[in-house]
Chains A and B, each alone.
Chain A
Amino acid sequence: MKTRRFTHLWFVLPALLVYGLFVLYPTLSAFWLSLYNWSGFGAKMQFVGLDNFSEALTSATVYRAAWHNLLFFVAIFIFQNTVGLFLATQLDTRPRLVQFYRTVLFLPVIISLVATGFIWSLMLSPNIGFLNPLLKDIGLGALARPWISDTTWALPTVITVQAWHSLGWSIVVYLAGLQNIPHELREAAVIDGATNWQRFWRVTFPLLAPAFTSLTVLTFIQIFRTFDVVYVLAGPIGSPAGATDVLGTLIYRTAFGVSTMTASSSRMSYAIAISVVLFIVLGAASTILLTQLRRREVQS
């Protein structure tokens, strides 16, 4: 039996080597690089200690981008827990055509965010788009606007595109949660004379806590790392005038410059320092979120 004490580690080893080389090693060298002043090109490196971090933590641009991420998360969170949850409860009543509805509603999830961004940027384009002419033709021309290039409407537009893309995911997660709830519980509540509303809030929703927890934490991580949808709709500078700038685009732009990979405008070490801060905050916040939400699950 003694010989078998370590055999399980042989199974882990190949994965650990690949993971160590292509994930852990780059992560550790990122921590190390963040202590230097380096453009990312050439050999000129200078040790600057925590200077990059103090700059990141006092930069208004970083806070603005983080604020946009936060707004983005809150909006998607509300959308998933109202529209997504409501549609899931409707599907849970197993109406006719339930397979069809579920198939269609889930469809955007498997389409790439790049493709999604393209579709919407064309639909909303002021020149050749489809939404503005449609609004004019049905007499709502006053609502037509240059959506993505309007400073007020740009961020809500990006959020809408993301909401369209991830609606199906929240529906499916909640639907799976709803189907795990034993029918007797809800029937018992009916017999006890609970109204629909009471039944939902007192019985169904507390039992959905595990689905709520994982959906919230995963959405949180996903939205704070978001890049594709903003990049395709608003470009690397988060146009117009940084109205849609999020941490993902800010880090990308700082690291690689705005247009091409030119050494002039790129500050690799500083960009890495911002992403290290993001990593630490993300790790801490999702741990807190996870433990708090799990505690709520246990109580209910």
Chain B
Amino acid sequence: MTDLTLPRTAPQTQPYNRHRLALHLSRVGRHLLLTGACALVLGPIVYLVLASFKSIPDFFDRPYGLPQHWEWQNYVRAWNEANVSVTLTNSFIVTSAAVLLSTFLASLASYGLSQRDKVLTTALYVLFASGMLIPVQMTMLPLFILLRQLGLFGTLFSLIFPYTALGLPLAILILVPFFATLPSDLAAAARIDGATEWQVFWRVMLPLVRPALASVVILNGVWMWNEFFIPLIIAIKPATQTLPVGIMSFVGVYSTEWGLVFASVVISALPVMIAYMLLTRQFVAGISAGAIKG
């Protein structure tokens, strides 16, 4: 978005040096300000990384200094003792399965719902969209009972299915307007060539909404990876816990082992951070698309 090289309003050549000085000062001021804001944002993150390498005495002796000697052991112990090896795997399985399933179902539904001249489309669209307002606290207990009745309790499916369902409203809100902008002649032409409805969707329409699909994958992926409340209620067994809950229950047991806790927090944040660094532009565009379209 910012990569567009629009011509900047050319600074008019000022006859007075005073103006040039003011312009220069405002530019310096802007950089100072933005650097300051970045420092406030980065401060806690740098602190987190340093803290994850500290031994317990370091927290008292050097509250904001570098660790006296770097305690790599924190990471090894977090991996083994804090159950991170299990919760990280669970987080990966649950997030990727739910993102794929949710995106697939939402694109099917959005393709159907984008045909505004057909019956029931508006009503169903509103029904899906209203899911954005439901407080999760309200549905959690009935969901808990339902999952037990379905025999999914204690398996990772008890997280995958609710995540998939809760990911649908946002995905449909983003995808329907996108499908609606595609010219209907395209589908008509494909039908005349003998394509089935499925082929029209899969071969013709779906490839054209790829940018919106990226937004959906990123938005849903980030919240599912970070989701805390649902697994807090549903994933009681340690074998099905995901990272955020795993860390929280670990805190209860080792409340003074701060270095360990922070090593597991770093591990939990790292995969999303790496994905963000590699795909910064898609992340920023995707997450702001969620706000603009909504």
Contact = CB atoms under 8 A, between A and B. Distances in A.
Contact of A23 (B109, B131, B172): B131
Given A18-B168, A23-B134, A103-B280, A95 B34 contact: yes
A114 B248 contact: yes
A106 B292 contact: no
A123 interface: yes
A87 interface: yes
A78 interface: no
B162 interface: yes
Interface string B152-180: 00000000011011101000100000000
Nearest to B64: A130
A168 B133 CA distance: 23
A46 B148 CA distance: 22
Nearest to A271: B137
A104 B294 CA distance: 25
Interface string B120-150: 1100100110111111111111110110000
B47 A123 contact: yes
A110 B222 contact: yes
Given A6-B119, A248-B137, A275-B137, A22 B143 contact: yes
Contact of B292 (A30, A40, A214): A214
B44 A99 contact: no
A190 B164 CA distance: 50
A91 B35 CA distance: 12
B112 A10 contact: yes
A95 B24 CA distance: 12
Nearest to B227: A112
Contacts of A7: 197
A225 B2 CA distance: 33
B226 interface: yes
B276 A110 contact: yes
B10 to A, nearest CB: 10
A223 interface: no
A101 B137 contact: no
B45 A106 contact: no
B253 interface: no
Instruction: Name the interface size band of chain B.
Output: 35 or more
Interface in B230-278: 233, 236, 244, 247-248, 251, 258, 261-262, 265, 268-269, 272-273, 276-277
A147 B124 CA distance: 48
Given A25-B146, A255-B137, A107 B45 contact: yes
Contact of A179 (B1, B30, B115, B141): B1
Contact of A30 (B64, B113, B138, B247): B138
A186 B211 CA distance: 30
B210 interface: no
Given A104-B41, A122-B51, A176-B1, A8 B133 contact: no
The B interface is mostly helix, strand or loop, or mixed, namely helix
Interface stretch (A55-63, A237-245, A279-287, A292-300): A279-287
A286 B104 CA distance: 29
A104 B172 CA distance: 30
Contacts of A16: 109, 124
Contacts of B181: none
A142 interface: no
Nearest to B45: A107
Contact of A232 (B139, B248, B258): B248
Interface stretch (B13-21, B67-75, B78-86, B283-291): B283-291
A161 B247 CA distance: 19
A25 B131 CA distance: 12
Contacts of A102: 2, 284
B62 to A, nearest CB: 9
A134 B265 contact: no
B128 A279 contact: no
B203 interface: no
Interface string A246-283: 00100110011000010000001001100110110011
Nearest to B165: A22
Contacts of A186: 9
Contacts of B38: 100-101, 104-105
16 contacts: A10-B197, A12-B109, A16-B124, A27-B138, A33-B142, A111-B226, A116-B44, A118-B265, A164-B44, A172-B284, A172-B288, A175-B1, A175-B2, A179-B1, A283-B133, A286-B133
Interface of B: 1-2, 4, 6, 8-9, 27, 30-31, 33-34, 37-38, 40-42, 44-45, 47-48, 51, 59-60, 63-64, 105-106, 108-109, 111-113, 115, 118-121, 124, 127-128, 130-143, 145-146, 161-162, 164-166, 168, 172, 197, 201, 222, 225-226, 228-229, 233, 236, 244, 247-248, 251, 258, 261-262, 265, 268-269, 272-273, 276-277, 280, 283-284, 287-288, 291-294
Given A112-B244, A115-B226, A122-B51, 9 more contacts: A5-B118, A9-B119, A12-B108, A110-B222, A115-B268, A118-B247, A172-B288, A217-B294, A225-B135
6 smallest beta-carbon distances between A and B, as pairs: A11-B112, A112-B226, A22-B165, A275-B138, A15-B109, A26-B139
